[in-house]
Amino acid sequence: MNLIVVDIQPSYKNHISFSVTELLNNIKEEDYDNILWLFNGPDMGFEDSDEINWWLSNKIEDEEDEYFFDFFSDIVNYYEKGYGFFRDLMGNVDDDKIIEIGKYMIKKNLNDMRELNEEDIKYLINKGIEEEYLNGDNHFFAIPDVKDELDYLRGKEIIMIGGGEYECLLEIELLMKMLEIPYKIDNSYVY
């Protein structure tokens, strides 16, 4: 089993509604094959992966668990995911339409909505997407680089946790749906 963690990091500690220590204990019990820890990092003015790792290591209560943390550090792949790649459309356009736009762009190997040509826009309008939301000059929409990290997990059982539930976690969920990669959300660890 594989775990995708979204934005469980010190900058969001006041928003996290569950015990990070309990989460680490759960990770220890589940024995995940891989953990992809997605975060907002220095590019966005937040902490780097070493600072997140240090913060997590301080959440361990039992000295014996320090051995677990060595193992944990070996299976975690930290990845600075970026922020807001679909946010301009979220809340204005149905999730299904956002997924439709993303699937189309991925199929056409387009990374930024501003790359859509007239034919692309007509196709998407015929799919029920309002033209005003297809203007890349007014609405930012881009397929993020984290797509390649998620593709690596294709065909594997995936559990996803983190937050914000209707923000960054939702963006990763939308991207997973665009890529047609199945996953399950563990709501015990969603904020």
pLDDT at 115: 97
Mean pLDDT for 32-58 is 94
Report the alpha-carbon distance of residue 38 to residue 162 in Å, rounded: 9
List phi, psi (to 5°) of 170: -65, -40
CATH of domain 2-84+144-190: 3.40.50.850
Whether pLDDT at 65 is above 80: no
Q: Contacts by 20-26 with C-beta closer than 8 Å and gap 24+?
A: 20/56, 20/59, 21/59, 21/60, 21/61, 23/161, 23/189, 24/56, 24/59, 24/60, 24/65, 24/68, 24/72, 26/188, 26/189
Q: Could you report the per-residue pLDDT of 129-156, keeping only the tens digit for each? A: 999 999 988 999 999 999 999 999 999 9
pLDDT digits (tens, 9 = 90+) for 163-183: 999 999 999 999 999 999 999
Task: State the average pLDDT for the chain.
Answer: 94
* Domain extents in the chain: 2-84+144-190, 95-134
pLDDT in tens, 98-120: 999 999 999 999 999 999 999 99
What is the pTM assigned to this prediction?
A: 0.94
Name the region of 164 (left: φ>0; alpha: ψ -120 to 50; beta: rest).
beta
